[in-house]
Amino acid sequence: MGPAVTIGRPFGIPVRLDASWLIAVVLISWSLAAGFFPEAHPALDASARWATALAGALGLFLSILLHEFAHALVARRYGLRVASVTLFVFGGVGDLRDEPPTPAAEFWIAVAGPALSALLALLLAIPFVAGIALFPAATALMHWLLLANTLLAAFNMLPAFPLDGGRVLRSFVWRATGSLRRATRVTAAMGRGLGLCLMVFGGLQFLAGAWVGALWCFFLGAWLRQAAAGSYEQTLLRELLRGEPVRAFMKRDPVTVAPDVTLGAFVRNYVYRHRFKMFPVEEKGRLLGFVTLAGVAGIPPGDWEGHRVAEFLTPLTDEACVEPDADVLDAIARMSRTGRSRLLVREDGRLVGILALKDVLRFFALKVELEGEAARP
């Protein structure tokens, strides 16, 4: 996923729209208006088809949003922190900051989404079963959303992690083995296998001439393979780093730069010597902010001596700083959320270190390489 904007905070949970969501809305609307509605509801004229198709695309994402909120609210009941719910090209994803505490919690959190989607499908089926007369456009829209929610529930219950069915399976394997890591490894392998099957099926569809469906299947399969691998790595990372403080990984005595240093001296004596991309800016022991390589990259070398570091100072914010006793997993989540790879570590308003993502990941890689399956927090 790429850039995302927050559009609301129902139940205090930020709802974010990824930029790829717009691509999905356009493609789904086009597919409905050009394919599904002309075949299933030929009585609709062109303008009604397109209007209903747009409503159908938005209705699908509303259904996905309700699906994800069912997960999120049940997760909250078990004490898990929900950072956000994001809608993107392949649907939606909830950002849970913690792993479920027990197999039972995993099971109920996982089944909540498909259960809600199945309930929505049941409610949408009532007018058809009861024979209630609706406007043609309303009939077409409800028909589509009935199918969409049915498929949403069915697809998500496939036993492949990180789909909901894979999480249900993980809860049973976790209960049987007593190891969340082993359960995640097994179900993530199934997720990668399902992703490969979808990619192969997409290739066959492409050869058959169904190129729109082929692209959806291929990219969905590729995303599922990546998500499965990433989910296992995330579970392992959480298990190995849970409860570890930031101070265990931060670099003490960080290199700082004064605000009145010229840009030329900053590049020669700091950037080229230390090869960092971010430097804290201090004046008489007071932390003012930081300067980044990206922030000064647009200045031509010939103009460096005419500028001071203070001109490119980024002021301090809570998002750019972390306390030394904070959980390092929370710090990593903040880096992911803000796109930063380094955080300033402050204690009582003083700079005491720098936390770099690469240092945490290097420790993680070394621990896994040396201890393998026996690695423990």
Domain with 256 in it: what CATH number? Answer: 3.10.580.10
pLDDT > 70: percent of the chain: 97
Catalytic, out of 39, 68, 233, 311: 68
Domain membership of residue 95 as a residue range: 4-157
Same domain, 265 and 138: no
Report the C-alpha gap between 86 and 104 in whole angstroms.
25
Same domain, 149 and 259: no
Asked if 69 and 49 touch (Cβ cutoff 8 Å), the reply is: no
Instruction: Please say which residue of 135, 157, 179 terminates a domain.
Output: 157
Model pLDDT for residues 94-143, shown as the tens digit of each residue: 888 778 889 999 999 999 999 999 999 999 999 888 777 778 899 999 99
Is residue 83 scored above 90 in pLDDT?
no
Report the C-alpha gap between 212 and 30 in whole angstroms.
11
Same domain, 9 and 152: yes
Same domain, 140 and 14: yes
Same domain, 261 and 135: no
Model pLDDT for residues 20-72, shown as the tens digit of each residue: 888 889 989 998 998 899 999 998 999 999 999 999 999 999 999 999 999 99
Same domain, 10 and 152: yes
Is residue 172 scored above 90 in pLDDT?
yes
At residue 1, the pLDDT reads 57
Model pTM? 0.75
Same domain, 140 and 32: yes
Model pLDDT for residues 338-358, shown as the tens digit of each residue: 778 899 999 887 899 999 988
Rounded to the nearest integer, the mean pLDDT of the chain is 88
| Residue 140: inside a domain | yes
The total of structural domains in the chain comes to 2
Instruction: Please say which residue of 130, 157, 184 terminates a domain.
Output: 157
**Helix (H, G, I), strand (E, B), or coil: what is residue 362?**
helix
Same domain, 259 and 358: yes
**Helix (H, G, I), strand (E, B), or coil: what is residue 127?**
helix
Catalytic site includes residue 68? yes
Instruction: Please say which residue of 112, 142, 157 terminates a domain.
Output: 157
Report the C-alpha gap between 200 and 347 in whole angstroms.
53
| Residue 337: inside a domain | yes
